[in-house]
Structure 1
Amino acid sequence: MTVVIETRDLGKTYRETVALADVTLSLEKDTIYGLLGRNGAGKSTLMSIITAQNFASTGEVRVFGEDPYENAAVLGRMCFVRESQKYPDDFKPGQAFAAARMFFPNWDQDLADDLVKAFLLPMNRRIKKLSRGQLSAVGVIIGLAARAEITFFDEPYLGLDAVARQIFYDRLLEDYAEHPRTIVLSSHLIDEVANLLEHVIVLDQGRVLIDASADDLRGRAVTVVGDASAVSGFTSGREVLHTESLGRVTSATVLGTIDAAERDRLTAAGLDIAPVSLQQLVVRLTQKEEVR
Protein backbone atom coordinates (compact mmCIF):
# COMPACT_ATOMS: atom_id res chain seq x y z
CA MET A 1 0.00 0.00 0.00
CA THR A 2 1.03 3.60 -0.62
CA VAL A 3 1.75 5.70 2.45
CA VAL A 4 0.28 9.22 2.15
CA ILE A 5 0.96 10.58 5.66
CA GLU A 6 4.00 9.97 7.82
CA THR A 7 4.85 11.44 11.21
CA ARG A 8 8.09 10.72 12.99
CA ASP A 9 8.72 11.46 16.68
CA LEU A 10 6.14 14.23 16.47
CA GLY A 11 5.77 16.39 19.56
CA LYS A 12 3.82 19.50 20.52
CA THR A 13 4.21 21.40 23.78
CA TYR A 14 2.25 24.40 25.01
CA ARG A 15 4.39 25.87 27.78
CA GLU A 16 4.20 23.16 30.46
CA THR A 17 1.53 21.10 28.71
CA VAL A 18 2.53 18.20 26.45
CA ALA A 19 -0.13 17.81 23.74
CA LEU A 20 1.77 15.25 21.65
CA ALA A 21 4.83 13.15 22.44
CA ASP A 22 6.84 10.93 20.09
CA VAL A 23 3.97 10.27 17.70
CA THR A 24 5.18 8.07 14.85
CA LEU A 25 2.51 6.96 12.38
CA SER A 26 2.05 5.93 8.75
CA LEU A 27 -1.35 6.39 7.10
CA GLU A 28 -2.06 4.63 3.83
CA LYS A 29 -3.90 5.62 0.71
CA ASP A 30 -7.60 4.76 0.33
CA THR A 31 -8.26 3.72 3.93
CA ILE A 32 -10.79 4.87 6.54
CA TYR A 33 -9.06 5.59 9.84
CA GLY A 34 -10.55 6.16 13.24
CA LEU A 35 -8.59 8.64 15.35
CA LEU A 36 -9.90 7.99 18.86
CA GLY A 37 -9.18 9.06 22.40
CA ARG A 38 -10.44 11.15 25.27
CA ASN A 39 -10.80 14.93 25.27
CA GLY A 40 -7.33 16.42 25.40
CA ALA A 41 -5.66 13.28 24.07
CA GLY A 42 -4.10 15.24 21.19
CA LYS A 43 -6.35 14.29 18.28
CA SER A 44 -7.15 17.81 17.07
CA THR A 45 -3.56 18.91 17.59
CA LEU A 46 -2.29 16.03 15.45
CA MET A 47 -4.71 16.77 12.62
CA SER A 48 -3.98 20.50 12.70
CA ILE A 49 -0.22 19.84 12.44
CA ILE A 50 -0.65 17.42 9.52
CA THR A 51 -2.79 20.00 7.70
CA ALA A 52 -0.28 22.80 8.42
CA GLN A 53 -2.67 24.75 10.65
CA ASN A 54 -0.33 24.30 13.60
CA PHE A 55 3.39 23.80 14.14
CA ALA A 56 5.11 20.83 15.73
CA SER A 57 7.59 21.45 18.54
CA THR A 58 9.65 18.39 17.59
CA GLY A 59 9.69 15.72 14.91
CA GLU A 60 8.51 15.90 11.33
CA VAL A 61 5.49 15.42 9.09
CA ARG A 62 5.37 14.30 5.48
CA VAL A 63 2.23 14.31 3.34
CA PHE A 64 2.58 12.74 -0.10
CA GLY A 65 6.29 12.67 0.73
CA GLU A 66 6.54 16.45 1.22
CA ASP A 67 6.47 18.98 4.04
CA PRO A 68 2.90 20.37 4.03
CA TYR A 69 3.75 23.84 5.40
CA GLU A 70 3.13 26.59 2.86
CA ASN A 71 2.95 23.86 0.23
CA ALA A 72 -0.06 24.64 -1.93
CA ALA A 73 0.37 21.51 -4.01
CA VAL A 74 -0.05 19.36 -0.89
CA LEU A 75 -2.64 21.45 0.97
CA GLY A 76 -4.93 21.48 -2.06
CA ARG A 77 -5.18 17.69 -1.81
CA MET A 78 -6.41 17.72 1.81
CA CYS A 79 -9.67 18.77 3.45
CA PHE A 80 -9.95 19.41 7.20
CA VAL A 81 -13.45 19.86 8.64
CA ARG A 82 -13.69 20.82 12.32
CA GLU A 83 -16.60 20.67 14.75
CA SER A 84 -16.18 24.42 15.33
CA GLN A 85 -15.65 25.30 11.68
CA LYS A 86 -15.78 29.07 11.10
CA TYR A 87 -17.34 30.84 8.12
CA PRO A 88 -17.86 34.54 7.34
CA ASP A 89 -20.94 35.73 9.25
CA ASP A 90 -22.73 37.00 6.16
CA PHE A 91 -22.20 33.75 4.21
CA LYS A 92 -25.07 31.51 3.27
CA PRO A 93 -24.43 27.77 2.75
CA GLY A 94 -24.27 28.19 -1.01
CA GLN A 95 -21.46 30.71 -0.67
CA ALA A 96 -19.49 28.35 1.57
CA PHE A 97 -19.92 25.60 -1.02
CA ALA A 98 -18.89 27.96 -3.84
CA ALA A 99 -15.69 28.83 -1.97
CA ALA A 100 -14.96 25.15 -1.40
CA ARG A 101 -15.59 24.42 -5.09
CA MET A 102 -12.83 26.88 -6.02
CA PHE A 103 -10.36 25.29 -3.61
CA PHE A 104 -10.96 21.58 -4.16
CA PRO A 105 -10.39 20.35 -7.74
CA ASN A 106 -12.43 17.14 -7.22
CA TRP A 107 -15.51 18.98 -5.94
CA ASP A 108 -18.79 17.27 -6.93
CA GLN A 109 -21.64 19.78 -7.05
CA ASP A 110 -24.25 17.12 -7.76
CA LEU A 111 -23.24 15.30 -4.58
CA ALA A 112 -23.37 18.57 -2.63
CA ASP A 113 -26.87 19.32 -3.94
CA ASP A 114 -28.03 15.82 -3.08
CA LEU A 115 -26.65 16.10 0.46
CA VAL A 116 -28.35 19.48 0.94
CA LYS A 117 -31.67 17.74 0.31
CA ALA A 118 -30.80 14.76 2.51
CA PHE A 119 -29.89 17.02 5.45
CA LEU A 120 -32.81 19.40 4.83
CA LEU A 121 -30.38 22.31 4.89
CA PRO A 122 -32.00 25.79 4.50
CA MET A 123 -29.95 27.40 1.75
CA ASN A 124 -31.42 30.91 2.12
CA ARG A 125 -30.48 31.29 5.78
CA ARG A 126 -27.24 32.96 6.80
CA ILE A 127 -24.74 30.59 8.38
CA LYS A 128 -24.67 32.58 11.63
CA LYS A 129 -28.42 31.91 11.95
CA LEU A 130 -28.16 28.15 11.42
CA SER A 131 -28.75 25.70 14.24
CA ARG A 132 -25.83 23.65 15.50
CA GLY A 133 -27.06 20.64 13.53
CA GLN A 134 -27.45 22.67 10.33
CA LEU A 135 -23.97 24.13 10.78
CA SER A 136 -22.62 20.59 11.20
CA ALA A 137 -24.35 19.62 7.97
CA VAL A 138 -22.52 22.40 6.11
CA GLY A 139 -19.16 21.00 7.24
CA VAL A 140 -20.11 17.42 6.47
CA ILE A 141 -21.28 18.36 2.97
CA ILE A 142 -18.01 20.16 2.26
CA GLY A 143 -15.99 17.22 3.58
CA LEU A 144 -17.81 14.70 1.39
CA ALA A 145 -18.34 16.75 -1.79
CA ALA A 146 -14.72 17.97 -1.82
CA ARG A 147 -13.55 14.41 -2.50
CA ALA A 148 -10.09 15.43 -1.38
CA GLU A 149 -7.46 12.70 -1.48
CA ILE A 150 -7.13 13.05 2.30
CA THR A 151 -10.13 14.19 4.37
CA PHE A 152 -10.14 14.83 8.11
CA PHE A 153 -13.44 14.97 10.00
CA ASP A 154 -12.75 16.39 13.47
CA GLU A 155 -16.15 15.51 14.94
CA PRO A 156 -18.15 17.98 12.82
CA TYR A 157 -21.10 15.57 12.91
CA LEU A 158 -21.61 15.80 16.69
CA GLY A 159 -24.23 18.48 16.17
CA LEU A 160 -26.31 16.17 13.97
CA ASP A 161 -29.18 14.17 15.41
CA ALA A 162 -29.14 10.37 15.22
CA VAL A 163 -30.96 10.24 11.87
CA ALA A 164 -28.68 12.82 10.27
CA ARG A 165 -25.56 11.08 11.61
CA GLN A 166 -26.72 7.83 10.05
CA ILE A 167 -27.25 9.64 6.75
CA PHE A 168 -23.66 10.88 7.02
CA TYR A 169 -22.29 7.40 7.74
CA ASP A 170 -24.29 5.82 4.89
CA ARG A 171 -23.36 8.46 2.35
CA LEU A 172 -19.71 8.40 3.38
CA LEU A 173 -19.52 4.65 2.75
CA GLU A 174 -21.42 4.92 -0.53
CA ASP A 175 -19.16 7.64 -1.88
CA TYR A 176 -16.00 6.02 -0.53
CA ALA A 177 -16.86 2.80 -2.39
CA GLU A 178 -17.04 4.72 -5.68
CA HIS A 179 -14.31 7.25 -4.96
CA PRO A 180 -11.78 5.78 -2.51
CA ARG A 181 -9.58 8.19 -0.58
CA THR A 182 -7.94 8.43 2.82
CA ILE A 183 -10.48 9.46 5.45
CA VAL A 184 -9.71 10.16 9.10
CA LEU A 185 -12.68 10.24 11.47
CA SER A 186 -12.10 11.68 14.93
CA SER A 187 -15.02 10.70 17.14
CA HIS A 188 -16.22 10.10 20.68
CA LEU A 189 -19.14 8.05 19.28
CA ILE A 190 -16.93 5.02 18.89
CA ASP A 191 -19.63 2.37 18.67
CA GLU A 192 -21.44 4.38 15.98
CA VAL A 193 -18.41 4.63 13.70
CA ALA A 194 -16.82 1.27 14.53
CA ASN A 195 -18.22 -0.51 11.46
CA LEU A 196 -16.87 2.22 9.16
CA LEU A 197 -13.28 1.88 10.29
CA GLU A 198 -10.55 -0.12 8.60
CA HIS A 199 -7.76 1.03 10.90
CA VAL A 200 -7.79 2.45 14.41
CA ILE A 201 -5.38 4.90 16.04
CA VAL A 202 -5.93 5.70 19.71
CA LEU A 203 -4.14 8.59 21.38
CA ASP A 204 -3.85 8.79 25.15
CA GLN A 205 -2.24 11.78 26.84
CA GLY A 206 -0.53 12.71 23.59
CA ARG A 207 0.95 9.29 22.89
CA VAL A 208 -0.05 6.49 20.53
CA LEU A 209 -1.77 3.78 22.57
CA ILE A 210 -3.18 1.72 19.68
CA ASP A 211 -2.22 1.61 16.00
CA ALA A 212 -3.85 -1.48 14.50
CA SER A 213 -6.30 -2.72 11.92
CA ALA A 214 -9.92 -2.82 13.04
CA ASP A 215 -10.08 -6.55 12.34
CA ASP A 216 -7.15 -7.21 14.68
CA LEU A 217 -8.79 -5.20 17.45
CA ARG A 218 -12.14 -6.97 17.23
CA GLY A 219 -10.67 -10.16 18.68
CA ARG A 220 -8.18 -8.62 21.06
CA ALA A 221 -10.24 -8.94 24.27
CA VAL A 222 -13.16 -10.87 25.77
CA THR A 223 -15.39 -10.53 28.82
CA VAL A 224 -16.09 -13.58 30.98
CA VAL A 225 -18.98 -13.56 33.45
CA GLY A 226 -19.91 -16.09 36.12
CA ASP A 227 -19.02 -17.51 39.51
CA ALA A 228 -16.27 -15.41 41.11
CA SER A 229 -13.96 -18.34 41.84
CA ALA A 230 -14.28 -19.74 38.31
CA VAL A 231 -13.63 -16.33 36.76
CA SER A 232 -10.62 -15.89 39.05
CA GLY A 233 -9.24 -19.22 37.87
CA PHE A 234 -9.66 -18.18 34.25
CA THR A 235 -7.99 -14.77 34.69
CA SER A 236 -4.98 -16.11 36.57
CA GLY A 237 -1.88 -15.28 34.55
CA ARG A 238 -3.80 -13.15 32.04
CA GLU A 239 -3.73 -9.37 31.52
CA VAL A 240 -6.96 -8.12 33.09
CA LEU A 241 -8.32 -4.81 31.84
CA HIS A 242 -11.31 -4.54 34.16
CA THR A 243 -13.23 -6.50 36.78
CA GLU A 244 -16.45 -5.87 38.64
CA SER A 245 -18.40 -8.05 41.05
CA LEU A 246 -21.90 -8.29 42.40
CA GLY A 247 -22.24 -10.86 45.14
CA ARG A 248 -20.77 -14.14 43.87
CA VAL A 249 -20.88 -13.06 40.23
CA THR A 250 -17.80 -11.49 38.66
CA SER A 251 -17.26 -9.97 35.23
CA ALA A 252 -13.70 -9.75 33.93
CA THR A 253 -12.43 -8.23 30.69
CA VAL A 254 -9.08 -9.69 29.61
CA LEU A 255 -6.74 -9.21 26.70
CA GLY A 256 -6.19 -12.20 24.46
CA THR A 257 -8.15 -14.61 22.30
CA ILE A 258 -9.96 -17.77 23.33
CA ASP A 259 -9.73 -20.85 21.13
CA ALA A 260 -12.60 -23.31 20.60
CA ALA A 261 -11.35 -25.82 23.16
CA GLU A 262 -11.00 -23.21 25.89
CA ARG A 263 -14.38 -21.78 25.02
CA ASP A 264 -15.91 -25.23 25.53
CA ARG A 265 -14.21 -25.55 28.93
CA LEU A 266 -15.49 -22.16 30.03
CA THR A 267 -19.02 -23.01 28.94
CA ALA A 268 -18.84 -26.30 30.82
CA ALA A 269 -17.76 -24.36 33.91
CA GLY A 270 -20.89 -22.21 33.64
CA LEU A 271 -19.12 -19.07 32.46
CA ASP A 272 -20.58 -16.76 29.83
CA ILE A 273 -18.28 -15.29 27.19
CA ALA A 274 -19.01 -12.00 25.46
CA PRO A 275 -17.08 -10.05 22.82
CA VAL A 276 -15.68 -6.64 23.72
CA SER A 277 -16.79 -3.75 21.53
CA LEU A 278 -14.27 -1.31 20.14
CA GLN A 279 -15.57 1.38 22.48
CA GLN A 280 -15.24 -0.87 25.53
CA LEU A 281 -11.71 -1.84 24.48
CA VAL A 282 -10.63 1.79 24.06
CA VAL A 283 -12.19 2.79 27.38
CA ARG A 284 -10.62 -0.09 29.29
CA LEU A 285 -7.18 0.38 27.74
CA THR A 286 -7.11 4.11 28.47
CA GLN A 287 -8.28 3.49 32.03
CA LYS A 288 -5.52 0.91 32.45
CA GLU A 289 -2.93 3.43 31.24
CA GLU A 290 -4.15 5.94 33.84
CA VAL A 291 -3.54 3.62 36.79
CA ARG A 292 -0.05 2.55 35.70
Structure 2
Amino acid sequence: MAVTAAGVIISEQTYGEKIDAGQNVYLKSDGKWYRARASSVVTSAGDLAIALDSGVAGGKGRLVKLGYVNNTAWSWTPGAPLYLSAATAGGLTQTRPTGAGNVVREVATVASDPSTIYFDPSPSSGPLATVEGLTAEKGDLIIGQAGAWAKLPAGDPWAEIHPNPTVAGGLAWRPTVPDLLNRVVYETDEAGNTLEIHQVYIPPFRGDGLPDANLNGVLFGDVWFDKYLACQPDASNVSSGSVSPNNPGTNGAASKPHVVPWTDINWGNAKQAIENRGGAANRKSGTCT
Protein backbone atom coordinates (compact mmCIF):
# COMPACT_ATOMS: atom_id res chain seq x y z
CA MET A 1 0.00 0.00 0.00
CA ALA A 2 1.57 3.29 -1.14
CA VAL A 3 0.45 6.54 0.53
CA THR A 4 1.58 9.86 -0.94
CA ALA A 5 0.55 13.43 -0.30
CA ALA A 6 0.87 17.07 -1.36
CA GLY A 7 0.11 19.74 1.19
CA VAL A 8 1.02 20.58 4.78
CA ILE A 9 3.22 17.72 5.97
CA ILE A 10 4.89 17.57 9.38
CA SER A 11 7.84 15.23 10.09
CA GLU A 12 9.35 13.48 13.10
CA GLN A 13 6.02 13.04 14.89
CA THR A 14 5.95 10.51 17.72
CA TYR A 15 3.41 7.70 17.60
CA GLY A 16 1.72 6.60 20.83
CA GLU A 17 0.73 3.21 19.41
CA LYS A 18 1.13 1.12 16.27
CA ILE A 19 -0.12 3.18 13.32
CA ASP A 20 -0.37 2.19 9.66
CA ALA A 21 0.15 4.56 6.73
CA GLY A 22 -3.20 5.99 5.58
CA GLN A 23 -4.82 5.88 9.03
CA ASN A 24 -6.43 8.91 10.63
CA VAL A 25 -4.75 10.00 13.87
CA TYR A 26 -5.33 12.53 16.65
CA LEU A 27 -2.92 14.36 18.94
CA LYS A 28 -3.27 13.33 22.57
CA SER A 29 -2.37 15.45 25.61
CA ASP A 30 0.90 13.52 26.02
CA GLY A 31 2.13 14.98 22.73
CA LYS A 32 1.87 11.68 20.83
CA TRP A 33 -0.38 10.62 17.98
CA TYR A 34 -2.97 7.86 18.26
CA ARG A 35 -5.57 6.36 15.92
CA ALA A 36 -8.66 8.56 15.79
CA ARG A 37 -12.13 7.16 16.24
CA ALA A 38 -15.60 8.78 16.21
CA SER A 39 -16.89 6.65 19.08
CA SER A 40 -15.62 9.16 21.65
CA VAL A 41 -15.02 12.89 21.99
CA VAL A 42 -11.56 12.15 23.38
CA THR A 43 -10.43 10.22 20.29
CA SER A 44 -11.97 12.58 17.73
CA ALA A 45 -11.46 16.14 18.96
CA GLY A 46 -8.58 18.52 18.43
CA ASP A 47 -5.78 18.07 15.89
CA LEU A 48 -6.24 15.37 13.27
CA ALA A 49 -3.87 14.12 10.58
CA ILE A 50 -3.30 11.30 8.08
CA ALA A 51 -0.26 9.09 8.66
CA LEU A 52 2.14 8.92 5.71
CA ASP A 53 4.42 6.41 7.42
CA SER A 54 3.70 3.25 9.35
CA GLY A 55 5.26 2.97 12.79
CA VAL A 56 5.16 1.42 16.25
CA ALA A 57 4.59 2.98 19.66
CA GLY A 58 7.47 5.37 20.34
CA GLY A 59 8.45 5.51 16.67
CA LYS A 60 8.32 8.59 14.48
CA GLY A 61 6.69 9.33 11.16
CA ARG A 62 5.32 11.96 8.78
CA LEU A 63 1.74 13.26 9.00
CA VAL A 64 -0.48 15.19 6.59
CA LYS A 65 -2.30 18.05 8.32
CA LEU A 66 -3.93 19.54 5.21
CA GLY A 67 -3.92 18.71 1.52
CA TYR A 68 -4.28 15.92 -1.02
CA VAL A 69 -3.62 12.34 0.08
CA ASN A 70 -3.46 9.36 -2.27
CA ASN A 71 -3.75 5.78 -1.09
CA THR A 72 -3.82 3.01 -3.67
CA ALA A 73 -5.89 0.91 -1.26
CA TRP A 74 -8.75 3.42 -1.21
CA SER A 75 -11.76 3.33 -3.50
CA TRP A 76 -14.15 6.07 -2.44
CA THR A 77 -17.08 7.66 -4.26
CA PRO A 78 -15.74 10.84 -5.96
CA GLY A 79 -17.07 14.11 -4.57
CA ALA A 80 -18.51 12.58 -1.41
CA PRO A 81 -17.53 13.61 2.14
CA LEU A 82 -15.49 11.36 4.42
CA TYR A 83 -16.06 11.05 8.16
CA LEU A 84 -14.12 9.61 11.05
CA SER A 85 -15.20 6.02 11.54
CA ALA A 86 -16.93 5.14 14.80
CA ALA A 87 -16.38 1.43 14.22
CA THR A 88 -12.70 1.30 13.27
CA ALA A 89 -9.83 3.08 15.00
CA GLY A 90 -7.92 5.16 12.43
CA GLY A 91 -10.55 4.43 9.80
CA LEU A 92 -12.52 6.65 7.44
CA THR A 93 -16.07 6.15 6.22
CA GLN A 94 -18.47 7.69 3.75
CA THR A 95 -21.37 6.79 6.05
CA ARG A 96 -22.27 9.57 8.45
CA PRO A 97 -21.95 8.20 12.01
CA THR A 98 -25.14 7.63 14.00
CA GLY A 99 -25.91 6.39 17.46
CA ALA A 100 -25.71 8.03 20.87
CA GLY A 101 -22.20 8.93 21.99
CA ASN A 102 -20.70 8.91 18.51
CA VAL A 103 -19.23 12.07 17.02
CA VAL A 104 -19.91 13.42 13.53
CA ARG A 105 -16.70 14.92 12.17
CA GLU A 106 -16.21 15.42 8.45
CA VAL A 107 -12.50 15.23 7.70
CA ALA A 108 -12.10 15.09 3.91
CA THR A 109 -13.69 15.20 0.48
CA VAL A 110 -13.00 12.59 -2.17
CA ALA A 111 -11.40 13.96 -5.33
CA SER A 112 -12.30 12.88 -8.85
CA ASP A 113 -9.86 9.98 -8.38
CA PRO A 114 -11.42 7.37 -6.03
CA SER A 115 -8.07 6.84 -4.33
CA THR A 116 -7.42 10.53 -3.62
CA ILE A 117 -8.93 12.74 -0.93
CA TYR A 118 -8.57 16.35 0.12
CA PHE A 119 -7.94 16.26 3.86
CA ASP A 120 -9.32 19.31 5.71
CA PRO A 121 -10.97 18.34 9.02
CA SER A 122 -14.02 20.28 10.16
CA PRO A 123 -14.69 21.08 13.83
CA SER A 124 -16.24 18.31 15.90
CA SER A 125 -20.01 18.40 16.31
CA GLY A 126 -19.86 16.91 19.78
CA PRO A 127 -21.34 13.53 20.73
CA LEU A 128 -24.70 12.46 19.38
CA ALA A 129 -27.46 12.20 21.95
CA THR A 130 -30.58 10.07 22.14
CA VAL A 131 -33.95 11.49 23.18
CA GLU A 132 -36.44 8.66 23.60
CA GLY A 133 -34.99 6.81 20.63
CA LEU A 134 -34.29 9.85 18.44
CA THR A 135 -30.59 10.37 17.70
CA ALA A 136 -29.60 14.01 17.41
CA GLU A 137 -26.41 16.03 17.22
CA LYS A 138 -25.48 19.47 18.44
CA GLY A 139 -27.53 22.11 16.63
CA ASP A 140 -30.49 19.87 15.78
CA LEU A 141 -33.89 21.33 16.62
CA ILE A 142 -36.15 18.70 18.18
CA ILE A 143 -39.92 19.04 18.13
CA GLY A 144 -42.85 16.92 19.22
CA GLN A 145 -43.83 15.38 22.52
CA ALA A 146 -42.95 12.43 24.73
CA GLY A 147 -42.61 9.27 22.66
CA ALA A 148 -42.96 11.08 19.33
CA TRP A 149 -39.89 13.29 18.85
CA ALA A 150 -38.61 14.37 15.45
CA LYS A 151 -35.93 16.68 14.06
CA LEU A 152 -37.22 19.79 12.35
CA PRO A 153 -35.84 19.84 8.80
CA ALA A 154 -33.40 22.61 7.96
CA GLY A 155 -35.06 25.64 6.43
CA ASP A 156 -34.28 29.01 4.94
CA PRO A 157 -31.75 30.68 7.29
CA TRP A 158 -33.84 33.84 7.12
CA ALA A 159 -37.08 32.05 8.04
CA GLU A 160 -38.68 31.69 11.46
CA ILE A 161 -40.49 28.80 13.13
CA HIS A 162 -44.24 29.13 13.48
CA PRO A 163 -47.00 26.78 14.69
CA ASN A 164 -48.66 24.86 11.86
CA PRO A 165 -51.11 22.16 12.95
CA THR A 166 -51.38 20.80 9.40
CA VAL A 167 -47.83 19.38 9.36
CA ALA A 168 -46.14 16.64 11.36
CA GLY A 169 -44.65 18.01 14.57
CA GLY A 170 -46.93 21.05 14.49
CA LEU A 171 -44.17 23.50 13.47
CA ALA A 172 -42.97 24.83 10.13
CA TRP A 173 -40.54 27.36 8.70
CA ARG A 174 -42.06 30.56 7.38
CA PRO A 175 -40.56 33.82 6.13
CA THR A 176 -40.01 36.43 8.80
CA VAL A 177 -42.92 38.78 9.39
CA PRO A 178 -41.98 42.21 8.05
CA ASP A 179 -42.14 45.28 10.26
CA LEU A 180 -45.71 46.53 10.08
CA LEU A 181 -46.84 50.12 9.77
CA ASN A 182 -48.09 51.71 12.98
CA ARG A 183 -50.05 54.85 13.60
CA VAL A 184 -51.70 56.75 16.44
CA VAL A 185 -55.08 58.29 15.68
CA TYR A 186 -56.61 61.05 17.82
CA GLU A 187 -60.38 61.56 17.64
CA THR A 188 -62.94 63.42 19.74
CA ASP A 189 -65.94 61.48 21.01
CA GLU A 190 -69.44 62.88 21.70
CA ALA A 191 -68.52 63.58 25.32
CA GLY A 192 -65.59 65.74 24.22
CA ASN A 193 -62.89 63.26 25.19
CA THR A 194 -59.79 62.96 23.04
CA LEU A 195 -59.44 59.31 22.10
CA GLU A 196 -55.88 58.03 21.67
CA ILE A 197 -56.04 55.00 19.37
CA HIS A 198 -52.90 52.95 18.56
CA GLN A 199 -53.29 50.89 15.40
CA VAL A 200 -51.26 48.55 13.21
CA TYR A 201 -51.65 47.96 9.47
CA ILE A 202 -52.03 44.39 8.23
CA PRO A 203 -50.96 44.26 4.56
CA PRO A 204 -52.72 42.00 2.05
CA PHE A 205 -51.80 38.30 2.31
CA ARG A 206 -53.20 34.92 1.38
CA GLY A 207 -54.11 32.33 3.99
CA ASP A 208 -51.72 29.40 4.20
CA GLY A 209 -51.27 26.55 6.69
CA LEU A 210 -54.55 27.27 8.49
CA PRO A 211 -56.42 24.33 10.08
CA ASP A 212 -59.60 25.31 8.18
CA ALA A 213 -58.77 24.49 4.55
CA ASN A 214 -61.49 26.92 3.38
CA LEU A 215 -59.36 29.80 4.65
CA ASN A 216 -56.23 28.81 2.76
CA GLY A 217 -55.70 30.75 -0.45
CA VAL A 218 -58.15 33.46 0.65
CA LEU A 219 -56.99 37.09 0.47
CA PHE A 220 -56.82 38.78 3.88
CA GLY A 221 -55.47 42.03 5.28
CA ASP A 222 -55.30 45.57 3.89
CA VAL A 223 -56.86 46.87 7.09
CA TRP A 224 -55.92 48.80 10.24
CA PHE A 225 -56.44 47.07 13.59
CA ASP A 226 -56.37 48.38 17.13
CA LYS A 227 -53.19 47.16 18.79
CA TYR A 228 -54.58 46.98 22.32
CA LEU A 229 -57.79 46.15 24.14
CA ALA A 230 -60.42 48.87 24.25
CA CYS A 231 -60.01 51.26 27.15
CA GLN A 232 -61.65 54.35 28.55
CA PRO A 233 -60.32 57.73 27.39
CA ASP A 234 -58.72 58.47 30.78
CA ALA A 235 -57.52 54.93 31.58
CA SER A 236 -54.11 54.58 33.23
CA ASN A 237 -51.78 51.77 34.22
CA VAL A 238 -53.62 51.45 37.55
CA SER A 239 -57.18 52.46 36.68
CA SER A 240 -59.73 51.57 34.04
CA GLY A 241 -60.93 55.20 34.05
CA SER A 242 -63.69 57.37 35.47
CA VAL A 243 -66.61 56.19 33.33
CA SER A 244 -68.94 53.51 34.72
CA PRO A 245 -67.48 50.19 33.53
CA ASN A 246 -70.65 49.11 31.73
CA ASN A 247 -72.14 52.46 30.75
CA PRO A 248 -69.97 54.27 28.17
CA GLY A 249 -72.80 56.48 26.98
CA THR A 250 -71.27 59.14 24.72
CA ASN A 251 -67.73 58.15 25.74
CA GLY A 252 -65.79 56.48 22.93
CA ALA A 253 -63.31 53.59 23.19
CA ALA A 254 -59.58 54.31 23.11
CA SER A 255 -56.74 51.81 22.45
CA LYS A 256 -53.61 52.61 24.45
CA PRO A 257 -50.63 50.61 25.72
CA HIS A 258 -49.90 49.96 29.38
CA VAL A 259 -53.35 50.84 30.69
CA VAL A 260 -56.17 48.91 32.34
CA PRO A 261 -58.63 47.84 29.59
CA TRP A 262 -62.30 48.73 29.68
CA THR A 263 -63.72 45.95 31.81
CA ASP A 264 -67.19 44.65 32.42
CA ILE A 265 -68.77 46.05 29.27
CA ASN A 266 -71.59 44.26 27.46
CA TRP A 267 -71.85 43.81 23.72
CA GLY A 268 -74.47 46.51 23.20
CA ASN A 269 -72.44 49.14 25.05
CA ALA A 270 -69.21 47.98 23.40
CA LYS A 271 -70.75 48.73 19.99
CA GLN A 272 -71.81 52.14 21.23
CA ALA A 273 -68.31 52.92 22.51
CA ILE A 274 -66.74 52.02 19.17
CA GLU A 275 -69.38 53.99 17.21
CA ASN A 276 -68.71 57.06 19.36
CA ARG A 277 -65.19 57.23 18.00
CA GLY A 278 -66.68 59.23 15.15
CA GLY A 279 -66.47 62.33 17.28
CA ALA A 280 -69.08 65.06 17.57
CA ALA A 281 -72.50 64.03 16.20
CA ASN A 282 -71.28 60.42 16.17
CA ARG A 283 -69.94 60.38 12.60
CA LYS A 284 -70.39 56.68 11.89
CA SER A 285 -71.23 55.00 8.60
CA GLY A 286 -73.92 52.38 8.75
CA THR A 287 -74.88 50.44 11.87
CA CYS A 288 -72.47 48.36 13.94
CA THR A 289 -73.94 44.87 14.31
- The TM-score with structure 1 as length reference comes to 0.21
- Give 1 or 2: higher helix fraction: 1
- The TM-score with structure 2 as length reference comes to 0.21
